[in-house]
Structure 1
Amino acid sequence: MARRRQAVTIRHVAADVGVSLQTVSRVINNEPNVRPELKERVQEAITRLGYVPSIAAQRMSGSRSYLILALNDRARTIADWRARQGTDWVDQMLLGGMLKCAEHGYRMIVELVDTHSDHVERELLGAIAALQPDGIILTPPHSDNPHIVRCLTEQQIPFARIGSNAQDAGMPISMDDEGSAAMATRYLAGRGHRRIGFIAGAPEYNLSGWRIDGWKTAMAEAGLATDDLLQAGDFTFASGERAARALLALPSPPSAIIASNDQMALATLEVARKAGLSVPRDLSVISFDNTPMMQFTQPQLTAIDQPIAATASMAVELIIAAQKGEALPDRVTVIPATLVERNSVVDAKQTVSA
């Protein structure tokens, strides 16, 4: 049987060049306090021996681990995975976060944490002890969980709070949920819609309330009533069905509906279809998130495109800046969303061909 090839370690590189392990580690981490001639010799040995630097080797140069830990909601993420409905949020977070980490020689690891758990602090401390991350990215609803925020503050670990407007601790980054909902509402009002329904997201997410506020603000600006046009949802398809049915059963139903995420928008399409309504001829629909499926619906859905990748990338930049002791923003960092126009909205009372 063929013998397994021994892996090249940092010790092999150090022995080959005749330097200490710490010197090799400083070269790996591109630190300035290494003579150019010595740096060239170490890099040549790394290439010739086929050494792949490890996280352990990177840690030898100091207290940094070169790891950034991102926390996502366990229950919702696993539910989506098991239902095989995809988790575009996680995909986009990895896209932005991992690419930005790679630029700076870092790695990003995702952990799933149940924000409702009585043991959330113990889970978090366990992850911190095992991974020793240089910083942590919190995603909703973890971003405003007081137990998690207090725990990280006490541990003195830099952390970014995606989807938070709180400035009491950490580095908040907003995708301007309130402004995004207002943008969608103004767009519909500008196309002549007077009865604009809104399906809200899960109440444990602060961003759900901000989106309601944005809708209400834009409705008030246009002189439009909101009275019976708000329905509660929880980001699931089933809740979207219930909310859409309630809205369309009103004595004066809306001519347009904004759903706070894509699953509830899909549910709205299905409810409209079963009611014999054509989208957009009889009902205009706008969604939040703009996951890939929005391009394949019939009709393709107009949607608020949340810059998740750009936001995760900014979170990594802020954490690395904090590690370096650089100046940080003294206010919430805002990464604005955009409205992607497709085929699910027409002017009010306009007739289109089916």
Structure 2
Amino acid sequence: MGTTTKSARRKSRAVTIHEVAAVAGVSPMTVSRVINGNTNVRESTRQQVMRAVEALDYTPNLAARSLAAAQGTRIALIYTNPSGAYLSELLVGALRAAARTAAQLVVHSWDGYSAEAERSAARVLARSVAGVLLPPPLSESRGVISELVKAGVPVVALASAHVAPDVSHVRIDDFRASKEMTAHLIARGHTRIGFIKGPPNQTASARRYDGFRAALVEAGIALDDSLVQQGHFTYLSGLAAAEKLLARRKRPTAIFASNDDMAAAVVSVAHRNGLEVPRDLSVVGCDDTSAATTVWPELTTIRQPIASMSNTAMDILLRSIHTEQHEVVDHVVDHQLVMRDSVAPPARPPG
């Protein structure tokens, strides 16, 4: 019988990109980058890969090349129970970046997952994506983050005031923003100010409350604990907190809710109780989502540029993926106080 030629051997079983990677001593992703002409590969590495390609007589499959390219820029955005307005802004920014860079954005909801289920889902996800975008509250989950980091997947945490050393962050300075808003209310004459906190498991919520307290201290105003209510960044929690604050015999002249959904709920409760905003009660929020402009009067609030932040986060992820250098970045975005019609001086001196 004749000797089997190299050509016949290749036809009987196609060489895979993983075999090329093993011979070249690099990752399959690097082989894909070389084959697709990516410039972010060292010349010595490129030559090493091409020698392996020639030695194995490797011919890339066009469909496989397209799939590899898509997987190389496949970014996951994972959310759990966010404000609908907040999620909408997140998606606008992330989709804008995906369209601009030809990255593939996949969106996952992990609502109702236990901590262990989140960790398990993170381990599975790490096998199929090149990077992960984590909005709150998952941006605070050490379990999820540790699984992704352990798998070598770059992560950008959004809107977390806790700056972890192993992931990148895009955020505003929640403490300074909240302090400035509280100072604005004080400058308008308010000294009896109610505050509705966000979820206790989110550091951004804690920093907003810290900023509120710092502004009171700076102005020489004693903190009245009875004017502080717990919320959870939801409209319903804002309703419950506002009912308690406005039921007080000596009610506040202004309420600072630590997100717009809860601030919109405060306006609703005020109207239901026959109070006019801002004549009888000033109301401010935070984030400047669509909720701020779908109530009457429109809310004075802190603009957290959520769409711009998720756009920036996508850019950071893609830069990390394409350069294979998982540089950790803490990107603090400028906030802005947006003045609308929900604030006025108190109708009567508090007391």
Using structure 2 for the length normalisation, give the TM-score. 0.76
CA RMSD of aligned residues (A): 2.8
C-alpha separation in 2, matches of 1:339 and 1:125:
40
1:216 and 2:213 correspond: yes
SS at match of 2:201: coil
Aligned to 2:75: 68
Q: Does the CA contact (< 8 Å) of 1:179 and 1:214 recur in 2?
A: yes
Aligned to 1:43: none
1:206, distance to aligned residue in structure 2 (A): 2.1
Deviations 1:182-220 (Å, cap 9, x if unpaired)?
121111111111111111112122221111111111111
Q: Could you tell me which amino acid in structure 1 is paired with residue 332 of structure 2?
A: V
1:183 and 2:180 correspond: yes
Q: Please, which of 298, 309, 312 is the counterpart of residue 311 of structure 1?
A: 309
Aligned residues: 294
Q: Could you tell me which amino acid in structure 1 is paired with residue 168 of structure 2?
A: M
Q: Which runs of 5+ in 1 are unaligned?
A: 1-24, 34-53, 81-86
Q: Does the CA contact (< 8 Å) of 2:199 and 2:205 recur in 1?
A: yes
Aligned to 1:5: none
SS at match of 1:234: coil
Q: Please, which of 295, 298, 309 is the counterpart of residue 297 of structure 1?
A: 295
Q: 1:56 and 1:247, CA in 2 relative to 1: closer, same or farther beyond 3 A?
A: farther
Aligned to 2:144: 148
1:98, distance to aligned residue in structure 2 (A): 1.8
Using structure 1 for the length normalisation, give the TM-score. 0.75
Aligned to 1:320: 318
Query: Equivalent residues in 2 for 1:38-187 (5 A)?
Result: 56-60=64-68, 65-73=72-80, 76-77=81-82, 87-114=84-111, 116-129=114-127, 132-164=128-160, 165-187=162-184
1:30, distance to aligned residue in structure 2 (A): 6.2
Q: Does the CA contact (< 8 Å) of 1:240 and 1:267 recur in 2?
A: yes
Q: Could you tell me which amino acid in structure 2 is paired with residue 142 of structure 1?
A: L
Return 165-174 or 307-316, whichever deviates more.
165-174
Q: Could you tell me which amino acid in structure 2 is paired with residue 257 of structure 1?
A: I
Q: 1:288 and 1:29, CA in 2 relative to 1: closer, same or farther beyond 3 A?
A: farther
Q: Does the CA contact (< 8 Å) of 2:194 and 2:245 recur in 1?
A: yes
Task: Spell out structure 1 runs of 4+ moving beyond 4 A.
Answer: 25-30
Q: Which runs of 5+ in 2 are unaligned?
A: 1-31, 41-61
Q: Does the CA contact (< 8 Å) of 2:195 and 2:257 recur in 1?
A: yes
